[in-house]
Chain A
Amino acid sequence: MVRIDTRGGAVAASLEDDVRSAVFSICDPEYPGVSIVDLGLLESVEIEGGVVEIGLIPTFSGCPALAMIADDVEAAVLAVDGVCEVSVSWLRSPAWSPGRVSVRGKDALKTEFTVAVQIGTSTPECPLCGGPTVEKSMFGPSRCRSVHRCDACTETIEVMRG
């Protein structure tokens, strides 16, 4: 489809919308069905002509999924009509924090994966019963997650943390 730039900004905005939804379609490799945008990884989208620059931030810099996520984002954005060049970079700032996870992201983590999100030093709620949880280990299967236990229903849960 050829875009005729008669309305200036409106066309640019629509291309940006398409690029953003392409990025949104990429899920975290460890949470299928949860978009990296809902996890707060997308920081910036810059478009000039058909050249797109995507700035992502990692939950932690040693994350082994970085190359995979960047490859997936690049392929998805490159497939957008009107895009001819894409560069994806992992930014050093700002630092990711659990506050960046969207309401929809928190909801999907809770209902699909029984994972809670810890904001600051608050006590995360059990995704199953809503009870208070106690940290059992600072480290779970990943640097960005700790292991908690629910005081009320004893469920073992993982908590995304900063």
Chain B
Amino acid sequence: MAREWKDLAEFEAFLDDGGIVEVDDDMPDEYRNAVFTFIEMHANSEYMGGLTERDWIPKTPGLRHKMSVLAKTQDEIGHGHLLYMVAADMGVKTRTEMLEDLMAGKSRFHNVFHYKAETWGDQVAIAFLVDAAALASQQAVFKNCSYGPYRRILKRIISEEGFHMRLGEDRMMRIAQGTDTQKEIFQGALDRWFWPALQLFGPDSKPNDVLLKWHIKSERNEVLRDKWVQKFVPMLQSYGFTVPAPDLTYDEETKKWDVGPIDWEPLKKTLAQGGPDSARRIGEARSNWERTAWARQALEASTS
């Protein structure tokens, strides 16, 4: 079944033709490593996101929201689980190696999970703005993804993230129609989360981005980011909130919003594990991993 290509050029022609790579194919190492790193970061992000969501289970107001936070936690951890399996199958690192690298601060996860969620308003902003940004970038990967096992998992993940979006909209509608204090809480959260959510898309794609060339990403970062801006800026304003972009302008001719220059320093810091909450989050994940070692040992003993 395994297919082979005589060189990178032949492999790239296969990809350009819409070819889908499967796990047992003899794919070029460059491709294998690039796809693996991408899936590993996605898995890490789901896992770290799940831990964040979990922190909020006891503090979430009302049964309805609490059920949604519980379910989201299980969703994210479940997505991480599926993605770690798919990544491990690529034979670059084992699942344990990936988790150990994550706990040691050696591998990456999304910038948004390097910040602290201070209030319930932050959770609403995350569910509304960050989940939408994550969903948009995942949809753009799914659309044209050349790696079969990842593409099939993504289809299910996207459907579930779409459901999270509806939950986020529900939370947002409730807080937007709430008391003045609730609106102030959400505005504070918006001030903290608008820029990190926007930066989740990353800086403008480089012309030679291999993820675009090898059909992992289907859209340039700046295009996705702009779509997000065009959707969320007017939506937030229509609910009576202020977009925290001092240089925000609207072009009457193109009918487009422009948030002005973007400071990429905070993103760079998070990628180097130097975000405002990076150390605490990684530390928490590590102590969680250590505390649950007994469960993994018991499982291994029962299956061996």
Query: What is the interface of chain A, defined by CB distance below 8 A to chain B?
Result: 29-32, 62-65, 67-68, 112-115, 136-137, 139-143, 145, 147, 149, 154-156, 158
Contact = CB atoms under 8 A, between A and B. Distances in A.
B269 to A, nearest CB: 31
Contacts of A141: 74-79, 81-82, 156, 160
B299 to A, nearest CB: 10
Contact of A142 (B68, B71, B86): B71
A147 B85 contact: yes
A29 B71 contact: no
Interface string B154-185: 01100110110011000000000000000000
B23 interface: yes
A62 B71 contact: yes
Contact of A147 (B82, B89, B152, B163): B82
9 contacts: A68-B166, A112-B155, A114-B155, A137-B81, A139-B74, A139-B78, A141-B76, A142-B78, A158-B82
Given A30-B163, A62-B67, A141-B79, A156 B86 contact: yes
A139 B75 CA distance: 10
Given A141-B75, A154-B23, A156-B149, A64 B70 contact: yes
Contacts of A155: 149, 152
B153 interface: yes
A64 B167 contact: yes
Nearest to A33: B159
Contacts of B166: 29, 68
Given A154-B24, A156-B153, 4 more contacts: A29-B162, A114-B155, A139-B74, A155-B152
B6 interface: no
A147 B85 CA distance: 10
B82 A156 contact: yes
B64 interface: yes
Contacts of A32: 159, 162
B151 to A, nearest CB: 10
Interface of B is mostly: helix
Nearest to B66: A64
Contacts of B163: 29-30, 65, 68
Contacts of A158: 82, 156
A113 B159 contact: yes
A30 B159 contact: yes
Nearest to A34: B159
A62 B64 CA distance: 10
Please indicate which of the listed interface residues A141, A142, A154 has the most CB atoms of chain B within 10 Å of its own CB: A141
Nearest to A156: B85
A113 B77 CA distance: 19
Contact of A64 (B71, B76, B85): B71
A156 B71 CA distance: 21
B25 to A, nearest CB: 12
B79 to A, nearest CB: 6
A60 B23 CA distance: 34
Contacts of A142: 71, 74-75, 78
